[in-house]
Amino acid sequence: GNSVTQMEGPVTLSEEAFLTINCTYTATGYPSLFWYVQYPGEGLQLLLKATKADDKGSNKGFEATYRKETTSFHLEKGSVQVSDSAVYFCALRDTGRRALTFGSGTRLQVQP
């Protein structure tokens, strides 16, 4: 079956630090990959996505590259801000299915 594994949190960084949140996946087909973010008190929002191997998704300074050879989709940002503090979820949608499979989430805390 499909699964998504994320690094455990919380991840605590100082403002302007470099961020990496690791995500690896297992899928039976050729999935689309997503990062969702949940800010405190808000609903899940799509942050970025990639639909095929070697695609790079990017948004708000965040990037992730779909690596089929390592089955990974790591989230990176060059310089985090306090406002990036949130829970980040990696997810996949396998070929022919509409359901998303989510990882367990990684809490990011950015200190000023």
Partner 1 sequence: GAGVSQTPSNKVTEKGKYVELRCDPISGHTALYWYRQSLGQGPEFLIYFQGTGAADDSGLPNDRFFAVRPEGSVSTLKIQRTERGDSAVYLCASSQGLGDSGANVLTFGAGSRLTVL
Q: Please identify, using beta-carbon distances, which residue of 13 and 44 lies nearer to partner 1.
A: 44
Q: Give the span between the Cα atoms of 8 and 5, in whole angstroms.
A: 9
Q: Any idea what the Cα angle at residue 99 is, between residues 91 and 64, rounded to 5°?
A: 20
Among positions 32, 73, 77, 108, the unique one binding partner 1 when judged by CB under 8 A: 32
**49 lines the binding site for partner 1 (CB under 8 A):** yes
**4 lines the binding site for partner 1 (CB under 8 A):** yes
Among positions 1, 40, 42, 69, the unique one binding partner 1 when judged by CB under 8 A: 42
57-86 residues near partner 1, rule: CB under 8 A: none
Q: Give the span between the Cα atoms of 86 and 10, in whole angstroms.
A: 10
Q: Please identify, using beta-carbon distances, which residue of 17 and 63 lies nearer to partner 1.
A: 63
Least distance (Å) from partner 1 to the CB of residue 34? 9
**101 lines the binding site for partner 1 (CB under 8 A):** yes
**What token pair was written down for 52?**
């095929």
Rounded to 10 degrees, what is the CA torsion of 2, 47, 106, 66?
Answer: 50
Do residues 27 and 92 make contact, with C-beta atoms less than 8 angstroms apart? yes
- Residues engaged in binding partner 1 (CB under 8 A): 4, 32, 41-46, 49, 51, 89, 91, 93, 97-105
